Chain A
Amino acid sequence: MKLLPVSIAIFIFSTVLFAADDTNATEKITDVEAIVNKANIVAYYQGNNGKAKVKMTITDKKGQARIREFIILRKDIKDGGDQMYYVYFLKPADIRKMVFMVHKHTDINKDDDRWLYLPGLDLVRRIAASDKRTSFVGSDFLYEDVSGRNLTEDLHELVETTDKYFVVKSVPKKPDTVEFSYFDVWIDRRTFVPMKMNFYDKKEKLYRVIESQKIEIIEAGQGDKVQKFPTVVKSVVSDLNTGSKTEMEFFNVKYDIALKDIFTERYLRRPPKEARR
């Protein structure tokens, strides 16, 4: 029976392939593009859609804290590609029920579409914001930290592979469009969650650090189709220049929920129940 070894080989090969899909066995990836792509999917594209309640605590150098609380809904058009975000604010009181919506485009020549809904005026405002490196709701997180920096904007280099991490250095292709000269990312080799990001200024001095402080495995789907998504549920960004830091915590994280197309003007004016309850 000469055929048997071949079929065994196929069996083993397909098992390996299957296992490669499992997050536990992906250590074989060494190509830097594959690493940053996978980390990008893990950080920003888990499931086809997602929902979470987010609490941001912004603490300035004097220790005064400000709180932002919102529900965030996300839907992917394509993994690693365009996405839609819907942010419904709960706190502070003066911006309660305000809605911020983004249609994110990964095409580098196309700016994101952004809307703001002001409930007191029933006003749908279109926001002109081409600079993605501005603060998100006054926190130390930037728009780009929240919705992801376009991978094609940087050159990526795998500088080190430790027991636990891939360390990737990313250098912007257009340095004059950003305030940093490069950043290093520590990507967990097992989960591909970016665990730490260090940003260096134009003088190559470390000035900004983002850390993933708490990871949880969130399950989605039912029965045989249960998927496990490693998820950052607490991250902290520190601005070493200003002494300010922002802690971002995620609660009630859910993936692959039954979500209609709520990323339209209709739902800006009347937030859907997914955003409010």
Chain B
Amino acid sequence: MIFCKPLPLKIAIFVVVLSPGVMAQEEAENDLSLLFSNMDVHGFYEMRSGWRSRKDEYEKDMSIMEQRLQIDVSSYLDWADFKVKGDIIGDMIDEQADFDLREAYIFTSPYDFMDLKIGRQVLTWGTGDLVFINDLFSKDWQSFFIGRDSEYLKAPSDAAKISLFSDIANLDIVYTPQFDSDRFISGERISYWNSNLGRIAGRDAIQHTDKPDRWLRDDEIAVRLYKNINNYEYALYSYHGYWKSPGGQNVAATRAIFPDLNVYGGSVRGNVGKGVGNLEFGYYESDDDQSGENGRINNSELRFLVGFTQEIGKDFTAGLQYYVEHMLDYSQHKNSSPSGLTRDRDRHLITVRLTKLLMNQNLRCSLFTYFSPSDKDVYMRPNINYKVNDNLAVEAGANIFFGDYPSTFFGQFQNDTNIYTALRYSF
């Protein structure tokens, strides 16, 4: 699996196009030497290994075993910032070496009221804590479940982000010319519920997909209009693109597809009492199945989230969220579902985050728990991270899944329960 597209070339083209006028060669050379003298190189080296705690006949016993070197190079000129960040990975589970280009962008503020960021970038917005409604930027669920650092939950997008600022409100527009899907659960590393087979599957039934991939036609656009009023952050969102993880099947049921999706939503966040509260909702319009009659395509949904975080002791924080997904055309969908639908109309989810810092904040103990009373399943993420010194950190954690049914969102991953340890040297 190589995530690297020929992006540096695109960036180079952007740089040339965006350069103010045609630069004299001398000036260009000057810029180049400045670019090198302003250069800043950082990164980390990491070893990470993890084991499955339950026998999974469809996956390897080791859940993760990799070495990773991240190099982060940034520099700037008067008129722009540049950044390239990439990981070289020796993956002993896939038995191959990978290069994952995480960021490669140019940033500039051509006007006081405008910022531009073009290239490969990680993007996040919305108010949820590990729950996403209006953030439809790519996620890497596989990395999340096998115990990589939480930084890897966010997969990069190849996009242009235009930000406009005014006293009335601010506007972000993110244009992705070619659809970037999630790095979804395909069976490669995580076994999952395969509805066609009617059982748990993994490496024996890797999900193949038909992904929209036409440049400038199969594109995505995400918009956020936001304003801070007395430190309450209000935002409206809109997204036009595709379900980010497979949201249906082709007619022959041989391939997973990414049906059209539009999302409209809003959020607010701010201090409430002694803590921070947030509210967010979204209307998911499954555009390829407006009536909900196509059982092979995801139903339209309403999604709603409310959360509250508070410090409950010294260096001890607790966060609580309630989240619900409500299917809008449930009965049509259920009747037309080829394999019979197993989920309820509403999926309720409660999350609890507990974080305690100890030993001068060098030891961080945290537990994030998802619990769905409707699906009757649980996903727990305990993690302990100790900073041995300013460069070296050691870490241990687990991804624990359980549930009453093999087909629910987290219940399907029961056999993927794993524990992991890691050592990271940052420079």
CA A270 – CA B121 in complex, angstroms? 13
Pick from B122, B270, B275, B310: contact of A122, CB under 8 Å: B122
A273: min CB distance to chain B, Å = 8
CA A103 – CA B314 in complex, angstroms? 21
Count how many chain B residues have C-beta atoms less than 8 Å from C-beta atoms of the other chain.
Answer: 48
B332: min CB distance to chain A, Å = 38
Q: Is the CB of B122 within 8 A of A130?
A: no
Residue of B nearest to A133 (CB): B314
Q: Is the CB of A130 within 8 A of B311?
A: yes
CA A124 – CA B209 in complex, angstroms? 33
Interface presence of B58 (CB below 8 A): no
Q: Please give, as numbers and ranges, the residues of chain A lying within 8 Å of B124 by CB-CB distance.
A: 121-124
Q: Is the CB of A135 within 8 A of B271?
A: no
CA A91 – CA B390 in complex, angstroms? 8
Binary interface encoding of chain B residues 243-286 relative to chain A, with 1 for a CB under 8 A from any of its CBs, else 0? 00000000000000000000000000111001110100000000
Q: Please give, as numbers and ranges, the residues of chain B lying within 8 Å of A111 by CB-CB distance.
A: 271, 274
Given A93-B42, A130-B275, A266-B170, are A121 and B361 also a contact pair (CB < 8 Å)? no
Q: Is the CB of A93 within 8 A of B311?
A: no
Q: Please give, as numbers and ranges, the residues of chain B lying within 8 Å of A139 by CB-CB distance.
A: 360
Q: Please give, as numbers and ranges, the residues of chain B lying within 8 Å of A228 by CB-CB distance.
A: none
Q: Is the CB of B360 within 8 A of A138?
A: yes
Q: Is the CB of B361 within 8 A of A137?
A: yes
Q: Which of A226-270 contact B (CB under 8 A)?
A: 244, 264-266, 270
Given A92-B426, A266-B170, are A128 and B390 also a contact pair (CB < 8 Å)? no
CA A172 – CA B115 in complex, angstroms? 47
Q: Is the CB of A120 within 8 A of B115?
A: no
Q: Which of A65-113 contact B (CB under 8 A)?
A: 66-67, 91-94, 96, 103, 111, 113
Q: Please give, as numbers and ranges, the residues of chain A lying within 8 Å of B76 by CB-CB distance.
A: 276
Q: Is the CB of B44 within 8 A of A128?
A: no
Q: Is the CB of B115 within 8 A of A128?
A: no
Q: Please give, as numbers and ranges, the residues of chain B lying within 8 Å of A121 by CB-CB distance.
A: 122, 124, 150-151, 153-154
Give the interface of A toward B (CB within 8 A): 58, 60, 64, 66-67, 91-94, 96, 103, 111, 113, 120-124, 126-131, 134-135, 137-139, 244, 264-266, 270, 276
Give the interface of B toward A (CB within 8 A): 42, 44, 76, 81, 107, 115, 117, 121-125, 150-151, 153-154, 163, 165, 170, 226, 228, 231, 233, 269-271, 274-276, 278, 309-311, 314-315, 317, 357, 360-362, 387, 389-391, 393, 424, 426-427
Task: Give the 3 A-B residue pairs with the shortest CB-CB distance, closest first.
Answer: A138-B361, A93-B426, A92-B390
